[in-house]
Amino acid sequence: METISQNKAFGGNQGVYRHKSTATNCDMTFGLFLPEEAKDGPVPILWFLSGLTCTHENAMTKAGAQAWCAEQGIAIVFPDTSPRGEGVADDAAYDLGQGAGFYVNATQEPWAAHYQMWDYIAEELPALLAENFAIDLDRQAITGHSMGGHGALTLAMSLPGRFKSVSAFAPICNPTGADWGRKQLTAYLGEDEATWAKHDASLMMRDTGFDGPVLIDTGTTDQFIDLLRPEALAAALAEKRQEATLRLQPGYDHSYFFVSSFMEDHVTFHAEALYRD
């Protein structure tokens, strides 16, 4: 593993690292903030999964998470959103290919060779973090923005017991029912819609729910709200009688101004779950 940079921040360390991934068969880069408490032993970790067109850097520099994580003694990791590099399949559209991995394991060509983002986030990167940093994998929480909110919700519900809590900022809630989803799920997973279900938060919520608290924020003036379909997730939460808070924030859009405005709420929400036991 290569250290790209390290900067002191809020008493802790913000690092950027690169490693060869066996899951994606290419080099992957991630950001990791460790609070000062990590000097004394393993700390809880919050995952932040980013959205379309983003790299590890967007949320790391724009979401304002480090100050709140430092206050709570929590690490936060910022993975990339897709495999990248020479020989990695891409598409001219911004919502498919590099920067648009959708946190699935692709089964279709030309994507299958590298686009194994589910395995990367669920298996490979956690093991790498625990091996190299003072991270407590028994205390994990997960959040994300837009496409990353979709990934956070589906990973949390698919891996019972893994995460103490899950939240999302403007998540893609019902990708099987919107253009942000049907296009990508068809490309990565094929035409059989039965294989799409475990990557749709609204369908999964109705089916399995989540064994912990859920927090969702979406702006009422989000320019992509028709593609996000928060109403589908709201109906599923009510039907499942899931422990959850779903908030529509008046006047907020889809940007990192929105994310940073409510980051303190989300970090505090996760800290309460991570330190509950």
**What is residue 219's DSSP assignment?**
E
CA atoms of 66 and 38, how far apart (whole Å): 14
| Known catalytic residue at 222 | yes
| Catalytic, out of 145, 150, 199, 254 | 254
DSSP letters along 231-248, please? Answer: HHHHHHHHHHT-SEEEEE
- Give the β-pairing of 244-249 and 135-144: unpaired
CA 152 to chain centre: 4
| Catalytic, out of 80, 200, 217, 222 | 222
| Catalytic, out of 82, 146, 167, 202 | 146
| Known catalytic residue at 254 | yes
**3-state DSSP call for residue 218?**
strand
Q: Which of 255, 209, 213, 214 is nearest to 236 (CA)?
A: 209
CA atoms of 264 and 249, how far apart (whole Å): 15
Report residue 174 as tokens.
Answer: 């019902």
Residues 175 and 188: beta-carbon distance below 8 Å:
no
Report residue 97 as tokens.
Answer: 């290919």
- Which residues participate in catalysis according to the annotation? 146, 222, 254
